[in-house]
Chain A
Amino acid sequence: MKAMNKFFFGLGMLVVVAAFLALWISLPWQGVVIIAVGLALWMVFTRRGRQTWSVTRVGLSTLRQRIGSSSVVVIGIAGVVGVLVAMLAMSDGFSATLQSAGNDRTAIVLRGGSQAELNSVMDRDSANVVMQAPGVRKDAQGRPTASGEIVVVANLPMKGDPNSDANVPIRGVSDAVWGLRDQVRITQGRKFKPGLRELIVGEGARKQFEGLDVGKELRLAGQTWTVVGVFASGDVLESELWGDTQSVASAYRRGSSVQSITVLLDSPQAFDTFKAALVSDPRIKVDVTTTKEYFGKQSEGLTKVLRIVGIVVGAIMAVGAVFGALNTMFAAIAARSREIATLRAIGFRGIPVVVSVMLETMLLALIGGAIGAGIVWAIFNGYTASTLGANFSQVVFQFKVSPALLWTGLKWALAIGFIGGLFPAVRAARVPVTTALREL
């Protein structure tokens, strides 16, 4: 019978924990504020609440004597939150870099089934068909706002490690690109001149690769090119080097073909007309997507992998941290068992004891979470990294430690604190007073 009771009690606790976690995950920050305010009011205005407050104060005042074991909780949780937030920041940063490059107003056309610009190729005639299609915005002279582009990949040495080459994308763009991609600004030097072997480099590429400053020369496809400017766009385009389509095509012997065509649409609604016209045209076989969808799809895979890795690693570490917290808090209530039993003997009820132990644990957890998230924010916010992207070349991106991520980290910390505190708290309140008083 006793064993049965124990079993059902354990089961009940598990249900409480599971219910709490489910609720906690779905809770927005407003909900947490309401809970915190409610708790504070309870502690000020009710008898039980005031009892809780005094028990908590006693617990906190002895914290200094248990600094070693308490720091286990703090640092353990700081580690979990740090790793989690860092991985999610990487994932968010990568996804933001790619997604901000796309929008609804522009569409990109590739040869059918190519998936990435690097694989695609379209001859001059097909390119003209695309540019003349309905839905493309015309400028004052009646020319379509469209950029036929070429993407090639070059080997350049990385910064800090001149012996290791990495792939950098070089994009040949036509004149219309400045109206088409209006997020691009020249930050140093000037634009390249059509027909010359001149390049402008993205801020990201300049940070990641050696020798891409204004005025420097580099060898591409056996020819010498000059860097004449630096541009910023705040997205994936910053990882690239840009030159004139014709110059790049002749250097890489591409003739008059292009690889992709990006067009400015009359309006986001015009996309359907544009797409329908191209898909039904028997002369060409192309894939038409808005740039928003195109870049969104490119970020999907890696973003998902990073998120999953971050959450799996975080979860395993969290299990370790929960057990660490349990250990510490069991030890803490064991050390205070006589004191707690005395309180209960003079009339304090179970609830204040439970709540005070949990508050103490969650406070430690909160400190740990804040430390972990804070360290990651200080080190990694804006940290620049790069990886291989869809065009088989480096995509430079920045870690993005957003307030939402910091909040996620704190939520994890509090959840760990909750579980780590619950079991010791319940034990403290359930040990028969007589047993506890006799202990030690």
Chain B
Amino acid sequence: MKYLHLIWAALFRRKSRTFLTLVSILAAFLLFGMLDAVRIAFTSGGNSVVGVDRLIVTSRYSIIQSLPASLATRVAAIPGVATVGHANWFGGIFQDPKNFVLSFAVSDNYLDMYKEIELPADQRKAYEQTRTGAIVGASLAKRYGWKVGDKIPLQSTIFPRKNGDKTWPFDIVGIYTPAKGAANGTDQQFLFHWTYFDEANAYTKGTVGWYIVKLTNAKEADRVAKAIDALSANSDHETKSQSEQAFNASFAKQLGNIGLIVGSIMGAVFFTLILLTANTMAQAVRERTNELAVLKTIGFSSRSVLAMVLSEGVLLLLIGGILGLALAAVLVPIISAGSGGMLQLPPIGTGTWVLGIVLMIVIGAAVGALPAMRAMRLNIVDALAGR
């Protein structure tokens, strides 16, 4: 630490070069921050911790086939099952086909099962008492300027009402905020009573899209899933039960291998970055051969010279990288807001910061390693003689 000013002085010995390198590093880590946000946005459903004790039961053959509502009581009777809820896909759009709304008709106990949906008690009560009541996530409400008390029409792309009209009236009775740890996108949902949906729609009667099963013990997930699937084996509505995480992950996977795309881009970026900074470091050390020899002459040990050059590399990466990540932290919410809800990027989280800083240190040490070795092995006499 006491050599910090020396390292600092060495780093800014050639201001323009250091500045140019810093901007390159900044660009690389800006990309890293943004792409990592994209990756998390697409995979967070697969490893969110809040839903570990929930199973999703869908039709085995196809996501679009619904299940009979009568299955609920039989599933509830299986040991290890705490509660059974259900939901239907509504396919809502608001005013214009571009304004897709993630809307579900849900069972009455849905909110008890999804504790991460935090609704004020009075709004919860109003929701329970209003047949056409709906609750919406905070960012969805903000997107369309909805307030509690608004009456809004939502058009279903799939289900007409009994009179043939596909526009369904709803009363917004509550606006919820998702608790920490909820899957990304939870605050974009529009939830309303399944009973309203079931009574008023023209086609389906007594069917549900999927069941949500809350377990008494998350460790028993496999056994319970098998027991549920056994209930309907060989019937015309065979089911497939999987953990909520697996269900979400399989969805993300169907969109495409986002992880692979992000990974390859980052690979290309960091490979270039390492080359570039390694080149800068090598230049910097080559130029300072004389100075390093003087340092050694006046008593700096080889090891402290090594440490100084290494930390110069790490410091360079840390300055550029932290600035880049900070810029990403500023830009990501702006992009999310600017995309009008199309792209929901989570803010840069601790995980990204930790991963980023580890990367900075590793890359810094890697690019500093060769020049540092050179500096350590420097023979004072040769160096001073310019040989």
| Chain A interface (Cβ < 8 Å from any Cβ of B) | 68-69, 71-72, 75-76, 79, 82-83, 86, 112-116, 118-119, 121, 152-155, 164-167, 219-222, 252, 285, 305, 313, 316-317, 319-321, 323-324, 326-328, 330-331, 385-388, 392, 394
Contact = CB atoms under 8 A, between A and B. Distances in A.
Contacts, number: 134
B28 interface: yes
A327 B276 contact: yes
24 contacts: A68-B279, A75-B275, A76-B275, A79-B271, A112-B166, A113-B157, A113-B166, A114-B158, A115-B97, A155-B61, A164-B253, A166-B253, A219-B61, A222-B235, A222-B236, A222-B238, A305-B342, A316-B27, A317-B27, A317-B272, A319-B24, A327-B24, A327-B279, A388-B254
A324 B269 CA distance: 12
Contacts of B63: 153, 155, 167, 392
Nearest to B203: A121
Contacts of B24: 319-321, 323-324, 327
Interface stretch (B15-23, B102-110, B132-140, B185-193): B15-23
B177 interface: no
Contacts of B61: 154-155, 219-222
A165 B246 CA distance: 11
B254 A394 contact: yes
| Interface core residue of B257, B268, B271 (most chain A CB under 10 Å) | B268
A317 B158 CA distance: 43
A119 B91 contact: yes
Given A324-B20, A385-B256, 7 more contacts: A76-B276, A112-B166, A114-B158, A164-B250, A166-B253, A222-B235, A386-B256
Interface residues of B, number: 52
Nearest to A335: B283
A154 B256 CA distance: 18
B31 interface: yes
Contacts of B27: 316-317, 319-320, 323
Nearest to B280: A327
Given A113-B157, A155-B61, A386-B256, A72 B268 contact: no
Contact of A326 (B20, B97, B164): B20
Interface in B325-383: 342-343
A330 B20 contact: yes
B323 to A, nearest CB: 13
Main secondary structure on chain B at its contact with chain A?
Answer: helix
A160 to B, nearest CB: 11
Interface of B: 16-17, 20-21, 23-25, 27-28, 30-31, 35, 60-65, 91, 97, 155, 157-158, 164, 166, 203, 234-236, 238, 240, 250, 253-257, 264-265, 268-269, 271-273, 275-276, 279-280, 282-283, 342-343
B268 A79 contact: yes
Nearest to B267: A79
B21 A387 contact: no
Contact of A392 (B28, B64, B235): B64
B63 to A, nearest CB: 6
Contacts of B268: 79, 82-83, 317
B62 A152 contact: yes
Contacts of B35: 313
Contacts of B275: 71-72, 75-76
A323 B23 CA distance: 7
Contacts of A114: 157-158
B157 A116 contact: yes
Contacts of B257: 385
Contacts of A331: 17, 283
A105 B235 CA distance: 44
B254 A313 contact: no
A321 B234 CA distance: 61
A385 B234 CA distance: 34
Sorted nearest first, the 3 A-B pairs with minimum C-beta distance are: A320-B27, A320-B24, A387-B256
A200 to B, nearest CB: 19
A128 to B, nearest CB: 19
Contact of A330 (B17, B342, B343): B17
